[in-house]
Amino acid sequence: MAHLVGGLGTSHIPSIGVALDRGQDTGDEWKPFFDGYDFPKSWVAEQKPDIAVVIFNDHGNVMFLDRLPTFALGVAERYEPVDEGWGPRDIPDFEGAEDFSWFLADKMVERHFDPMIAREIEVDHGLQVPMELFFGRPIEAWPVRVVPIWVNTLQYPIPTPQRCWELGKVLREAIDTFPGDDRVVVMGTGGLSHQLQGARAGFINRDADREWLETIGSNPERWTSMSREDYVEVFGSEGAELIMWLVMRGCMNSKVSLKHKHYVVPTSMTGAGCVVLENC
């Protein structure tokens, strides 16, 4: 059977990709952020995953308000980086883990999830940025195959935190029953606290961000018990993306080890950081 090697949580701010493209990751402004990813990169290199399941949201680049599924699952052979307005980034396409994607699709439907199935679709910074933060930028090909899972955090009604947690349980069941010996890492992305519009534009909740990073492993119930409205109040309208980390955490054991956490604020009007979790 396949094996879950661990869970990663990270912000996926688009300006991170811009900083990498411009070689600004070692400059004074960006270095404190990127330094926090040295350990996650070495951890990923040591674990040698074969498949990366990436939970993220589109940002109006390949899905828009006229057609916005609550959950979507990619089953494609390949995913190209989408042009987000300044040309596609100079990174390789992402090879899909088609066999596992279809297996997961069937398992989701069997467990009463009804995802949109995407046979051909591009991916935006929600997937691109986390992949580069954890795997670096390859010259020719990424070292893993990907399974993209899109979650609607753009337009209400978004899914509840509890529903995202339940999706994580289904994902774990699929990993544990998938034939073969693939090593799988699950990546929850989005956040941390931020709001980009309205009366609270520029809102960041440092205390809540630090509590999230400290307790997402040890006390996930603190976060699954919150309502969607709670997330907007505590983390900001865009900070509600953090519900996607609950898919990753729900996929893991009840007890996990927090191997690493990192937090920098502000990063492009956003609290930003990451965690590395291993099963106990």
Distance of CA 129 to the CA centre of its chain: 9
d(C-alpha 70, C-alpha 57), whole Å: 10
The position carrying tokens 């399974």 is: 147
Residue 103's pLDDT is what? 98
Residues contacting residue 230 through CB under 8 Å, at least 6 positions apart:
none
d(C-alpha 10, C-alpha 32), whole Å: 15
Instruction: Compute the CA torsion angle 119, 93, 36, 52 (nearest 10 deg).
Output: 40
Using pLDDT thresholds of 50, 70 and 90, give the confidence band for residue 267: confident
Residue 206's pLDDT is what? 97
Question: In terms of Cα–Cα distance, which of 184, 168, 177 is closest to 113?
Answer: 168
Intra-chain end-to-end CA distance of the chain, in Å: 19
Residue 170's pLDDT is what? 98
pLDDT digits (tens, 9 = 90+) for 159-212: 999 999 999 999 999 999 999 999 999 999 999 999 998 999 999 999 999 999
Residue 268's pLDDT is what? 83
Q: Which of 12, 59, 125, 262 is catalytic?
A: 125
Q: Residue 165 is encoded by which pair of tokens?
A: 């947690």
According to the CATH classification, is domain 3-279 in 3.40.830.10? yes
Q: Which of 12, 194, 260, 262 is catalytic?
A: 194
Instruction: Compute the CA torsion angle 238, 239, 244, 250 (nearest 10 deg).
Output: -160
3-state SS, 83-104, equals: CCCCCCCCCCCEEECHHHHHHH
Examine the pLDDT at 88 and tell me if it is beyond 90.
Answer: no
Using pLDDT thresholds of 50, 70 and 90, give the confidence band for residue 139: very high
The reply to whether 125 belongs to the active site is yes
Report the pLDDT averaged over residues 89-103: 97
Region for residue 40 given its phi and psi (left: phi exceeds 0; alpha: psi -120 to 50; beta: otherwise):
alpha
d(C-alpha 147, C-alpha 143), whole Å: 13
Examine the pLDDT at 266 and tell me if it is beyond 90.
Answer: no
Helix (H/G/I), strand (E/B), else coil: 73: strand
For the chain, which residues make up each domain, given as ranges?
3-279
For the entire predicted model, the pTM comes to 0.97
Neighbours of 48 (CB within 10 A): 11
Share of the chain above pLDDT 70, in %: 100
pLDDT digits (tens, 9 = 90+) for 206-252: 999 999 999 999 999 999 999 999 999 999 999 999 999 999 999 99
Report the pLDDT averaged over residues 25-43: 95
Residue 191's pLDDT is what? 95
* Mean predicted lDDT score pLDDT of the chain: 96
pLDDT digits (tens, 9 = 90+) for 74-86: 999 999 999 998 8
